[in-house]
Amino acid sequence: QEQNRELRERLEQLKKERNAIILAHYYQRDEIQEVADFRGDSFLLAQKAAETDAETIVFCGVHFMGESAKILAPNKTVLIPDERAGCPMADMVNVDGLRKLKAQHPNAKVVTYINSSAEIKAETDICCTSANAVRVIESLDAEEIIWVPDKNLGRYVQEKTGKKMIIWEGYCNTHDMLTVKDVYEMKAKYPEAEFVVHPECRPEVVALGDFVGSTTAIIDYCRRSDRKEFIVGTEDGTGYQLRKDSPDKSFHFASKFLVCPNMKVNNLKKLVKCLETMKPQIYVPQAIADKARISLERMLQVK
C-alpha cells in the first residue's frame, strides 16, 4: 500500500516532467487502471492516441496497441511498460499467408482486426475493432472480404452482415477458452443473472449471450441495465470499471480462465520505470507505418 502510494506520487511527477498521458486498456491490472488518464477498449484508446496533445503516450496494454498509437501519432514518443506484453492472436497471421490469400482473391477487400501487427495492417484496406466491426464491413463496397485474424469475431460479423467473408483461423487464447459448459454451470448457479459476452468467444458461446458486444459496449450495457446480476464473458480486468460504475450490482466472471496473461505483464512499478527511463519505446519503420496509417485512419472515419 505504502509502496503503491510512493509509486503513484512519483508517477504524477514524471507525467508532468515528460508531458505524458497514460492510456490503459480495460484488461489491465486495477493498479494501472486507477492511475490512467483514460481507460478504454481498443477503439477508444486508438482515438485518444490520435487526438492527444501530450508529447509522450504511455500505452498500458499489449504491443499491437502501442504500435497503433505510434502509427497514429508518429511524432510522439510511445512507451509501453513491458515489451513482452504481446497478443498471441496478433501473431497467428503472417504477411506471406495474407499475400497469398490476396492473390487468390484479387477483388476482395482486406479487413483487419486491430489485434494485428503493423506489417499486417500495412497489407490492409481498413482496420476495425470489436466495437465497430459490423459498421466497418457495412461501409465497404465489396463482393468479398478477407478477414484476419480472429475467426470468432469474423463469424459473428459475417452472421450480422451477411457478407461473403474469407476468414483466417486465428483466435484469442483467453476468450476462446470459455465453453458452453462453463456458461451453463454459471447460469445454473446464478439463474437471475444476464449473460454478457465478447464476440471473441466461440460462436456457440456467443449464441448464449443476452448481450453481445465489445468491452466498452458490455460496460455500458451493464451500467444502464435494470438487472442487478451479470455473468461476464470477457477478460477479468473489465471488473474494475464494471464495479466502479455499479457498486450495487454483482458481476460473476464466466470462467476463472478469463485472464489474459499478456495484459497482466504490466504493473504499476514497470509503468513508473518506463517513464523514468523513457524505455521501452515503440518503433515502427516509416514505410510500414505510412501504409498501416491509411487503414487505421479509414477505420477512425467510419461513423
Pick out the residues of the known binding site for iminosuccinate: 25, 42, 113-115, 130, 198-200, 215
Q: Which of 94, 173, 225, 246 binds ligand SF4 (CB under 6 A)?
A: 173
| Cell matching residue 223 | 451500467
178-207 residues near ligand 13P, rule: CB under 6 A: 200
Residue of 56, 68, 129, 255 interacting with ligand 13P (CB under 6 A): 129
Handedness of CA 212, 224, 27, 247 (dihedral sign): negative
Q: Which of 62, 131, 133, 274 binds ligand SF4 (CB under 6 A)?
A: 62
235 binds ligand SF4 (CB under 6 A): yes
Binding of ligand SF4 by 214 (CB under 6 A): no
Q: Which of 11, 15, 32, 41 binds ligand 13P (CB under 6 A)?
A: 41
Of 28, 115, 255, 295, the one binding ligand 13P by CB under 6 A = 115
* Options 15-23, 70-78, 83-91, 273-281: segment touching ligand SF4 (CB under 6 A): 83-91
> Which residues lie near ligand SF4 (CB under 6 A)?
27, 62, 87-89, 115, 172-175, 235, 260, 262-263
> Which residues lie near ligand 13P (CB under 6 A)?
41-43, 87, 115, 129-131, 172, 200, 214-215
